[in-house]
């Protein structure tokens, strides 16, 4: 019984207090999306890998604070088909979305991913720079 009370107390405390180091206002965040279809080529997998690695490498603290997240989304799944229209997608894409007060206020389709995919360091730098621009707007 004491163990259950302790577990419930811990859960309540963790859900009430934000993580240490959280700097964005409540409801403010950045989502870095990788949009893909079910069938993908090796380059498409590389784009997903590089994007996720870059976000995790340069924004680890913000990920832990809940300010930035990475999401890979299959737009061929029925529940995700709205993204094609929402972001005017015509190919696999990386899109950065800024959320303020719980609502998306702007987004950027990073079209240069195809230009930089053969140079990992340029690709990482592109993701880092564009994500940092949006991050500055939510702090």
- Distance CA(115)–CA(57), nearest Å, equals 21
Question: Average per-residue pLDDT in the chain?
Answer: 86
pLDDT digits (tens, 9 = 90+) for 59-95: 999 999 999 999 999 999 999 999 999 999 998 999 9
Give the per-residue pLDDT at 13: 39
- C-alpha span between 98 and 17 (Å, rounded): 23
In order of their start, the domains of the chain are 2-136 (3.40.30.10)
CA-derived radius of gyration, the chain:
17
Inter-helix orientation angle 120-136/42-58, to 10°: 50
Q: What is the pLDDT of residues 28-38, one digit of tens each?
A: 999 999 999 99
**What's the pLDDT tens digit per position in 121-139?**
999 999 999 999 999 988 7
**pLDDT for res 27:** 79
Spatial strand order of the sheet with 68-74 comes to 68-74, 29-36, 93-100, 103-109
Predicted pLDDT at 116? 98
- Against a cut of 0.85, is the pTM above it? no
Torsion-angle region of residue 23: left (phi > 0), alpha (psi -120 to 50) or beta?
alpha
Q: For residue 6, is pLDDT > 50? A: no
C-alpha distance from residue 3 to each of 9, 51, 127 (Å): 10, 42, 45
Cβ-proximal residues to 109 (8 Å cutoff; 6+ apart), any chain:
87, 88, 89, 93, 94, 95
Q: How confident is the model at residue 26 (pLDDT cuts 50, 70, 90)?
A: low
Give the model's pLDDT for residue 111.
95
């Amino acid at each position: 019984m004491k163990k259950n009370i302790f577990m419930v107390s811990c859960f309540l405390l963790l859900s009430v207090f934000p993580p240490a180091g959280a700097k964005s206002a409540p409801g403010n965040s950045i989502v870095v999306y990788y949009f893909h279809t079910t069938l993908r080529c090796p380059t498409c997998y590389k784009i997903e890998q590089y994007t996720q690695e870059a976000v995790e490498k340069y924004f680890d603290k913000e990920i832990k604070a809940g300010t930035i997240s990475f999401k890979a989304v299959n737009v061929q799944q029925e529940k995700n088909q709205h993204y094609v229209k929402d972001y005017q997608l015509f190919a696999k894409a990386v899109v950065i979305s800024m959320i303020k007060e719980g609502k998306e206020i702007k987004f950027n389709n990073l079209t240069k991913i195809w230009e930089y995919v053969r140079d990992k360091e340029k690709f990482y730098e592109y993701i880092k720079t564009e994500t940092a621009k949006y991050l500055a707007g939510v702090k």
